[in-house]
């Protein structure tokens, strides 16, 4: 399969995923120099002709979020000035998504600021995977495709569920995740429950209550992001104390910052399924409970459909 005017480029945030996407599409990654000067400034040089091309930049804005975001903005500018016909930002993990509203006085809405920066840089289209806050789509005045990792995660989840689905319960870690959990439970034909948390501050959970029946059931925690793993580990312990037979978890984005790996290793979680929206090879080496699934085929399918002006709605599970 060959597309003469389809170009794929990547920054330094997740080159492994970009290589997999390129392999799925059977097109080479574009030749670009993306580096930092000694003072930390980002520098980009596109080393091939992109005039009139349909360009896709694969770049998660994960840690270091500011560096990766700046790389993306500079790449967009470089491609725009090189006369690319259309530039689409493929952002598997949209950083700053948790700053999507003013939840206290005199705080920013940084997710909107990121959208404004991308548009000002000259982006034509964006697609991302499992946004923490779906309303972020509305922060853009350009086409935004919101994809879901459900097809990838569900396929793997079904292989790990060995018993009757009636004996399985999916757990939403908060009220905001109930809709996602219900959609997965419908596909798996199992029940759902909700973890009601009371926080003392960011990342600090003081109390957890489980709403729903987990007695004698295999409990699967479902979330979009695993950051410090405080929620997963605390809720997993509460589920076992409420009579769950075993507990494991699934999440799309493995941020895994701070004490996350240590907490997961010491927790009663049997396994944690995540995707490669964020690179986690080093974390996987430290934690044998971590199972990484690739979303490369999903992203490649979306890129192909957008390039050929086909509908991507069938990917919205």
User: Would you call 197 a catalytic residue per the annotation?
Assistant: yes
Q: Chain centroid to CA 215: how far?
A: 31
Q: Chain centroid to CA 304: how far?
A: 20
Token pair listed for 67? 């560096």
List the Cα angle 302/5/48 in 5-degree steps. 115
Token pair listed for 54? 């349909």
Strands (E), 135-245: 144-147, 168-172, 191-201, 204-211, 218-226
For the sheet containing 86-91, what is the strand order?
Answer: 6-10, 54-58, 86-91, 125-129, 144-147
Structural contact between residues 187 and 149, judged by C-beta atoms closer than 8 angstroms = no
Closest CA to 267 of 275, 276, 259: 259
**Beta partners for 130?**
none
Identified catalytic residue from 35, 102, 186, 197:
197
Q: Which residues contact 226 (CB under 8 A, 6 or more apart)?
A: 232, 249, 251, 253, 254, 255, 256, 260, 272, 274
**Cα–Cα distance measured from residue 140 to residue 155, given in angstroms and rounded to the nearest whole number:** 32
**Cα–Cα distance measured from residue 88 to residue 263, given in angstroms and rounded to the nearest whole number:** 37
- Catalytic positions are 197
């Amino acid at each position: 399969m060959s597309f003469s005017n389809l170009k794929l480029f990547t920054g330094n945030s997740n080159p492994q995923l970009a290589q997999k996407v390129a392999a799925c599409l059977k097109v080479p990654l574009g030749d670009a120099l993306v580096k930092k000067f000694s003072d930390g400034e980002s520098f980009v040089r596109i080393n091939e002709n992109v005039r009139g091309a349909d360009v896709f930049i694969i770049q998660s804005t994960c840690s270091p979020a500011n560096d990766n975001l700046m790389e993306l903005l500079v790449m967009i500018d470089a491609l725009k000035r090189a006369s690319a016909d259309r530039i689409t930002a493929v952002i598997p993990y949209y950083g700053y998504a948790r700053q999507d509203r003013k939840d206290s006085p005199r705080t920013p809405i940084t997710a909107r600021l990121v959208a404004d920066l991308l548009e000002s840089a000259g982006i034509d289209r964006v697609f991302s995977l499992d946004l923490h806050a779906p309303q972020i789509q509305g922060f853009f005045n350009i086409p935004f495709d919101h994809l879901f990792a459900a097809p990838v995660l569900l396929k793997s989840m079904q292989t790990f569920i060995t018993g009757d689905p009636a004996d399985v319960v999916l757990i939403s870690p908060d009220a905001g995740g109930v809709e996602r959990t219900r959609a997965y439970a419908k596909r798996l034909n199992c029940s759902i429950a909700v973890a009601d948390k009371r926080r003392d501050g960011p990342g600090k959970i003081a109390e957890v209550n489980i709403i729903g029946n987990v007695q004698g059931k295999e409990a699967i925690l479902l979330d979009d992001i695993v950051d410090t793993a405080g929620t997963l580990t605390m809720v997993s312990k509460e589920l076992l104390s409420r009579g769950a037979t075993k507990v494991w978890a699934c999440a799309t984005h493995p941020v895994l910052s701070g004490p996350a790996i240590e907490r997961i290793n010491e927790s009663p979680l049997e396994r944690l399924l995540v995707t490669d929206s964020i690179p986690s090879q080093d974390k996987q080496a430290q934690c044998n409970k971590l199972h990484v699934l690739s979303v490369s085929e999903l992203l490649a399918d979306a890129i192909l459909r957008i390039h050929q002006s086909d509908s991507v709605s069938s990917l919205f599970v």
